[in-house]
Amino acid sequence: MSAPGVDNTDRVSTLYRKFGGVIYSRARRLLKDDALAEDATQEVFVRVHRHIESAPDDAAALAWIYRISTNYCLNMLRDRARGAQPTGPDEMPEV
């Protein structure tokens, strides 16, 4: 058996090479921002690495990662909408 984590890291690297562009495109489509999409793609693959033991085989891996990506981006959008703060003087509350 190889060193702990080596095979998993190789698998995540392979999945990233295969599907990184697709996941970035999905994040970009949902977030409408290149920098946020890059950050989201990175975080998605960190999560993939964290849960690689429960990952499906390669045939179903894209659907699994795509779902992680969609959920992560939708959560980002929801959190951003909840945390929206007034930005201009017209939006400031009366004191």
User: Which segments in the chain show pLDDT lower than 70?
Assistant: 1-6, 84-95
Taken in order 28, 34, 36, 40, the sign of the CA dihedral is positive
Do 76 and 40 meet the contact criterion of CB atoms below 8 Å apart?
Answer: yes
Instruction: With 0.85 as the threshold, say if the pTM is over it.
Output: no
- The pLDDT of residue 2 is 35
**How many other C-beta atoms lie within 10 A of the C-beta of residue 15?**
21
- The pLDDT of residue 56 is 92
- The pLDDT of residue 6 is 55
- The pLDDT of residue 87 is 52
